[in-house]
Amino acid sequence: MNIRSLLRKNIQSLTPYSSARDEFDSVAEVYLDANENPFDNGVNRYPDPYQKPVKARLSEIKNIAPEKILLGNGSDEVLDLIYRAFCEPKVDNVISHNPSYGMYPVLSEINDVELRKVNLDAGFSLDAKKMIAASDEHTKLFFICSPNNPSGNLLNKEEIRQILDLKKGIVVIDEAYIDFAETDSWLTELDRYPNLIVCQTLSKAWGLAGLRVGMCFASEEIVRVLNAIKPPYNVNVLSQEAALKALNQEDEFKKQLAIILDEKKKVEAALAQSPCVQELFPSDSNFVLARVENANALYDFLLERKVIVRNRSKEHLCASCLRFTIGTPEENLRLLDGITAYEKK
C-alpha cells in the first residue's frame, strides 16, 4: 500500500523544523545553542523533542520498536496530527461510527474536513459494510474507537479487519481504554497492516490524565511523517519525567487496574439489581453505561449529593443513558448510595 500517496501534497514536500536538540542530541557540559535561561531550576532546558527514554520504556512494555512510537500532548494532539497529515481541507473526508469519541467531529470542523458518521447497530455493534459504503475516493481516514466511548464495548475484530483489508485509507483504532479489556491490542497487527494506526493514552489506566501524554503506534513511515509536522517540543519535561516514573512502576499500575476491575464488577452487580436501571450494557472499559428510567432526574439528584456522572442521553442508541466511571471503593459506594436514595424518594 502506498502510504505516501494518501498524504496531503504539501506534507509530502514538507521540510520539518530543525530544533537545537535535533541538531545536537548528545551530551555536553555547556549548552549555548538554544537561547535558554542558563540558571537551573529543573525546567530551564528544552525537553527531549523525541522523548527517547519514555519511548525506550514503552518499547519494552508494548514490544514495539521505538521508531514506531509517537508521543503527543494527549491523544487529542496525536489525532489532530493525523488529520493534518492526511486530510486536504474541503476535499477529503473521514468515516467514524456513531456514537463515538466526541473529539472526532471537533477535529473535523477545526481542520475543515467532512466527517461521515455511520450509526452503530443495536448493542453498539459495528457493521463494516456500512462503514465502507459511506466511503468514496476522497476518504482518507476511518476512526474506530474500541473499547468504544460512550458504550464501553469492544467492537468486533472481524468487522474492523474488513475495513483494514480494503486498504482504502488509514484506519485509526483509538484504544484509550484497552488496558481495561481482556483482549489483545491491535498493536500485534501493526506489521500486517501498513495502513493501521493505534492510539493509546497514559490518561486512563496509567493515571496521568493531568499531564497529557498520548501514544501513537504505526509504521516507521507514518511515524516519520507525524514527527515532521508535530511541534518540536510537544511533550514537556515534567510530563516526560512523570510518564517514565509511572512506566517504571508496573506493579502499582497492575494493582490499581485490578482494583478498578474488581470495583466495576461490584458496581455492575449493584446496578443490575437497581429498580431504576432498565438496561446495563457490557463494558470492556473503566466505566459502565446504563439506561435508566429518567436520566435527567437521576443525574440532577446525584448532582445535589455532589456526585458527578455523565449524561449521554443525546447520543445515538443512548436514550436516557448515564455513564458511570468506576472510582475508588468509597466513591463507588457514594454513587450506589445515591441511586438507592433516589429510588426511595
> pTM for the whole thing?
0.94
Is residue 92 within 8 Å of 78, Cβ to Cβ? no
As a whole-number percent, the residues of the chain with pLDDT over 70 amount to 100
Which amino acid would we find at residue 199? C
Mean pLDDT of 276-283: 97
C-beta of residue 93 within 8 angstroms of C-beta of residue 113: yes
- CA 181 → CA 119, 152, 195, 249, distances in Å? 23, 10, 24, 20
Cα-based distances in Å from 305 to 1, 263, 313? 55, 21, 21
pLDDT at 26: 82
User: CB atoms < 10 A from the CB of 2, how many?
Assistant: 8
Q: What is the pLDDT of residues 146-181, one digit of tens each?
A: 999 999 999 999 999 999 999 889 999 999 999 999
Domains of the chain: 4-248 (3.40.640.10), 251-344 (3.90.1150.10)
The pLDDT tens digits for 184-220 are 999 999 999 999 999 999 999 999 999 999 999 999 9
Q: What is the mean pLDDT of residues 51-72?
A: 98
Average of per-residue pLDDT across 265-287: 97
Whether 1 has a pLDDT exceeding 90, the answer reads no
Please give the residue that has the higher pLDDT: either 334 or 2: 334
Helix axes 75-86, 103-110, angle to 10 degrees: 40
Q: 25 pLDDT exceeds 80?
A: no
Dist CA 247 CA 202 (whole Å)? 9
pLDDT of residue 20: 82
Decide the pairing of beta strands 139-145 and 93-98.
parallel
For the segment 35-47, what is each residue's pLDDT rounded down to a tens digit? 999 999 999 999 9
Mean of the per-residue pLDDT values of the chain: 96
Which residue's entry shows cell 502510504? 3
